[in-house]
Amino acid sequence: MKRLSEIKFSTLDLVPVRENGSAAQSLRNSLDLAQHVEKFGYNRFWVAEHHNMDGIASSATSVLLGYLAGGTSTIRVGSGGVMLPNHAPLVIAEQFGTLESLYPGRIDLGLGRAPGSDQMTARALRRERSGSADDFPQDVAELMRYLGPRTPDQRIIAMPGTGTNVPVWLLGSSLFSAQLAGERGLPYAFASHFAPRFMHEAIRVYRNHFKPSTVLDKPYVMLGVPLVAADTDEQADYLATSVYQRILALMRGQSLVQRPPVKTMDGLWLPHEKEAVGDFLGLAMVGSPQKIRAKLEVLIEQTQADELIFTCDLYEHADRVRSYELLAQVMKG
């Protein structure tokens, strides 16, 4: 059985924009957070591609990764993930080949098959491209060819990109990518930070379909986990109301800008909405270090995950930094 101190731990930053805040401040906060978690001993720092969302500032993912990698020195930085249906594989190969050339050995390329937006926005992103989620397996294969060693008969190369072998991860919130990652022998990250219901089944499908590859000789599972750590349970419960308000706004189709915490959520949500937010955050670690340690030990025992990637969506940047600091103390034992 794995012990908590043996598990790698990482950060997924949604680069939140707060009420009366700006994208510029959110991007600076992201770098500051990356610099802090690097000191705290985190393994990697990922940002995700989202579009047409006023509360998330990570849409130009590869551009942001250059900023983050340039401002840190040891932590791995990467996409969690790039939504491949929005892009030609060659473009992503060139972008991440450039990042790998500038910051060798520190870049991860996590790939998702959802558009990361609504259908109208997806059309605006792709324009005349005919790409869709159905092309995902072929697009992944094409992208990996561009990043692999150049072959004698290869007529299209990614420059930079060819021969960089940037590590590719498959991300998912359903079973499709779990099976594909297993069949391709790639590491797999499951989005249990917002879709915990399918977590155990996705892990099982991935491990059952896993075939050793030049990348991995055995399965490697990373799980997304929502985090609200504070010095006391009461303080964590209070800070978590910002997270609840944001998920509630997502479900209602409202603005996703971060709202300050409130004393109580009573009157802000209906009973069925409270239940839906609870399901969305079913894996959330909310509380003091002692409470979070106990919950994490159960999660590791149940899943035997190799790595956990935490997202912490608090209103005050200082509270986010403190939350990740407390978690690092828990993970290190």
Task: Please report the domains of the chain, with CATH numbers, ordered by start residue.
Answer: 4-331 (3.20.20.30)
Please, are residues 148 and 167 in contact by the beta-carbon 8 Å criterion? no
- Two structure tokens written together for 284: 């959330």
For Cα atoms 298, 299, 305, give the angle at the middle one, nearest 5 degrees. Answer: 130
Q: Return averaged pLDDT per consecutive 10 residues of the chain, 333 residues in all.
A: 91 95 97 98 96 93 98 98 92 98 98 74 64 80 95 92 96 93 97 91 97 96 98 97 96 95 95 94 95 96 97 97 98 88
Q: Which residues of 106-130 are buried (b: 16+ CB within 10 A; e: fewer)?
A: bbbbbbbbbbbbeeebbeebbeeee
Residue-wise pLDDT for 240-250, tens only, equals 999 999 999 99
pLDDT of residue 114: 78
Residue 249: CB atoms within 10 Å:
16
pLDDT of residue 116: 53
Please, are residues 276 and 191 in contact by the beta-carbon 8 Å criterion? no
pLDDT of residue 133: 57
| % of the chain surpassing 90 pLDDT | 86
pLDDT of residue 234: 97
pLDDT of residue 194: 86
